[in-house]
Amino acid sequence: MADEALLLPHERPVVEVRHVGTALVVRLLAPDVTSTYAHRLRAFLFNLADCGLPLLVILDLDEWPGISSQLPIFLRFVQSVTGRGGGVRLCHLTRHAAKVLTVTKLDLYFAVFPDLDAAVAGWES
pLDDT in tens, the chain (125 residues): 444 444 455 567 788 999 998 899 999 887 766 667 788 888 999 999 998 889 999 999 888 776 777 788 889 999 999 999 999 999 998 888 888 889 988 888 889 999 999 999 978 64
Architecture per CATH, domain 4-120, reads as 2-Layer Sandwich (3.30)
Q: Where are the domains of the chain?
A: 4-120
Instruction: Please tell me the predicted confidence (pLDDT) of residue 39.
Output: 85
Distance CA 13, CA 15 (A): 6
CA distances from 27 to 41, 59, 103 (A): 11, 6, 24
Cα–Cα nearest to 15, from 36, 87, 37, 34 = 37
CA distances from 65 to 30, 86, 94, 95 (A): 7, 26, 7, 10
Task: Residue 8: count other Cβ atoms within 10 Å of its Cβ.
Answer: 7
Instruction: Please tell me the predicted confidence (pLDDT) of residue 69.
Output: 74
